[in-house]
Structure 1
Amino acid sequence: MNRFLNIIALATTLVLAQSCSFLPNEKKAISVSTHQHEERSTIESHHREHSTSGTIHGEKKALTQARLKLPSNITQNKNISILIEVQDLNRKAIPNFDTFQEKLMHLIVVSDDLKFFSHLHPTYKDNGQFEVKTSFPQAGGYTFFSDYKPVGKTEQVSVLKMQVPGNSIAAPEINLDRTKIFNDTKVNLALSESTVKAGQEVTLIFKLQEASNNQSLTDLQPYLGEKGHLVILRKSTSLTAEDYIHAHALKNTPAGQVHFMTSFPQSGKYKVWGQFNRNGKIITADFLINVV
């Protein structure tokens, strides 16, 4: 029986100055390496470079490439060790990274149906290698958005993919509610524009209240150095770097509110995840937005 989990690395197009080119050695391929005496499947990523302030989307020249190493046997709801290797375009390990938003790497993991979301912070193991342990609650495809900053360089996003074997579950129901309750916190999402248009700047306003009495929260604390964090992904058959937006919280907003300013690059349905720190407990509030 073939013990290896076959993961296909999709060839990636890097857009630069309105022209298309491929990163060195990109190809549809499966390669296998050994890590800690364990058989692992390896896939390569596509990448983009972005600035470290404001909304993060749009593509520039890639400075790095990343490889994802996984155990050959992956099952649902079982913790596994994930290794991410960051290299320059000549496949030489990048040894040093700058801390940004209090971490060396932010790893966003989402299922293809956007039902599952996880924001992880892998541990740096030296020689360009980051490691984290996590589990996956359902079968199907997952996309990793690895966000890091080599010393003296701009922030980089590497996109990697993996597959969890098994029977896929039915797609989740579409919920367009703008007010939801997450444990003991009520979150309302308001938009500065009644109709969100592609390319138009819009402010997303998260109003957080105590679910039991609708009082504005007074116990919000900084999360990773900011009032909150916002990740946005466009629903797509195959997520890419162009579908990923990371927006920073605005300063000096009313108590119990966290605001983000961003724009959506193209029309479609987007899912947003706002993350906030309530007395040391992280609240993740998800909503759907339609962009015309």
Structure 2
Amino acid sequence: MNNALKITAFAAALAATFGTAYGVGRGVDPLVGAEDRPAGQHGGHGGGEEGGAVRAADGTPGGLQVSEGGYTLDLETPTVEAGARSRIRFAVKDGSGRKVTAYQREHGKELHFILASTDLTQYRHLHPVRAADGTWSTPVDLPEAGGYRVFADFTPAGADAENLTLGADLAVSGTYRPAALPAPRAVAEVDGYRVTLDGGLRAGRAGELKPSISRDGRPVTDLEPYLGAYGHLVALRSGDLAYLHVHPNEGGPGPVVSFTATAPTAGAYRLFLDFKHEGKVRTAAFTVQVGQASQDGGEHKESGERKESGAGEAAGHAH
């Protein structure tokens, strides 16, 4: 059988929609309570409950809903073509259908825009520009066809506003070649840099992730601030792309960037680490297998699975 399939925009949209629906339909376990979360982990890029994963008011992890809290992500460009330079346009609308034009700035930006393929092999951390009418736009060049998910991470203006992460499906037309989730490995290579991941995620409990960055066998000790931090980490759950964004703990500027995070459930997660050195932002990617928590508060891994860490390769980062 030929594994390459020709994907039309309509078929890719169906694949993205039903793929996400299947993940949501499997059910989502409750996240750890706010009182159990450590300092240093935040929902979104700076809002939400301190120490918690990005999540909706009903406990659903962030990014699984297109609407929440009276706001809706309106993806005006639901399809693009693989391998072609395209421009994605979108807006955040309030409960009256008006485009939002006022946001709180978090880490130097009003809104952070993440894009990932449903098989988690493609990733982009984009920086869209907002027009006066509230329409956001960003160029993008995606090499692979298939279903994608976009995430808008933002906090509306207002003293009582909460951080939100809304998600929507994007279809990329072209020749689609299904890809399996990369296997767990503890090392990622990107642009001559070697990133080694120590520590691990835990289901329902805080865990520390400690990526260490080196180049040519030497530790990188002069990482540069990027959006107000020495590193940014996004984790997406395989199957439904539940979104978990964490911030680094105190420390820096390298070679280790420490993060504290709590996985909502057991399962496979894809981690994307952004770091800046010598004026350029690079992204290292890992696959992490999170084991099921045991009754005594520990953790056990499923048969045939490794408890820790990542399959490493470069992932896209655009400005």
* TM-score, with structure 2 as normaliser: 0.71
Distance 1:201 1:113 in 2: 26
Does residue 148 (structure 1) correspond to residue 170 (structure 2)? The answer is no
Does residue 222 (structure 1) correspond to residue 225 (structure 2)? The answer is yes
Distance 1:254 1:276 in 2: 10
Conserved? CA contact 2:77–2:90, under 8 Å: no
Per-residue CA distance 1:81-100 (angstroms, 9 max, x = gap): 21111111221222211211
Does residue 265 (structure 1) correspond to residue 264 (structure 2)? The answer is yes
Shift of 1:180: 2.4
Conserved? CA contact 1:104–1:148, under 8 Å: yes
Q: Tell me how many residue pairs correspond in the alignment.
A: 246
**Counterparts in 2 of 1:224 and 1:142: CA distance versus 1, 3 Å:** same
Task: Single out whichever of 258-267 and 81-90 deviates more from structure 2.
Answer: 81-90
Aligned residue type for 1:63:
G
Determine helix, strand or coil for the equivalent of 1:56: coil
The within-5 A match list for 1:249-260 is: 249-253=248-252, 255-260=254-259
Q: 1:235 maps to which residue? A: 238
Does residue 85 (structure 1) correspond to residue 91 (structure 2)? The answer is yes
1:161 to 147, 169, 172: 169
Per-residue CA distance 1:175-230 (angstroms, 9 max, x = gap): 31102221221110000x6xx531011000011112x2x22112201110011100
Distance 2:48 2:107 in 1: 13
Does residue 101 (structure 1) correspond to residue 107 (structure 2)? The answer is yes
Where relative contact order (Cα < 8 A, 6+ residues apart) is larger, the structure is: 2
Distance 1:227 1:106 in 2: 17
Distance 2:253 2:100 in 1: 42
Distance 1:104 1:70 in 2: 20
Distance 1:187 1:209 in 2: 6
Q: Which runs of 5+ in 1 are unaligned?
A: 19-48
Determine helix, strand or coil for the equivalent of 1:226: coil
Per-residue CA distance 1:223-278 (angstroms, 9 max, x = gap): 10011100000100x43xxx100000111257411010010001110010111111
**Counterparts in 2 of 1:250 and 1:230: CA distance versus 1, 3 Å:** same
Conserved? CA contact 2:54–2:164, under 8 Å: no
Q: 2:278 maps to which residue? A: 279
**Counterparts in 2 of 1:254 and 1:106: CA distance versus 1, 3 Å:** closer
Q: Which runs of 5+ in 2 are unaligned?
A: 1-7, 31-45, 58-67, 292-319
Per-residue CA distance 1:29-70 (angstroms, 9 max, x = gap): xxxxxxxxxxxxxxxxxxxx9617544323216231110012
Distance 1:172 1:119 in 2: 22
Identity of aligned residues (%): 26
| Structure with the higher strand share, 1 or 2 | 1
Distance 1:251 1:257 in 2: 11
Shift of 1:71: 7.3
Distance 2:265 2:214 in 1: 32
2:53 to 50, 53, 56: 56
Q: 1:290 maps to which residue? A: 289
| Structure with the higher helix share, 1 or 2 | 2
* TM-score, with structure 1 as normaliser: 0.77
Q: 1:35 maps to which residue? A: none
Q: 1:171 maps to which residue? A: 179
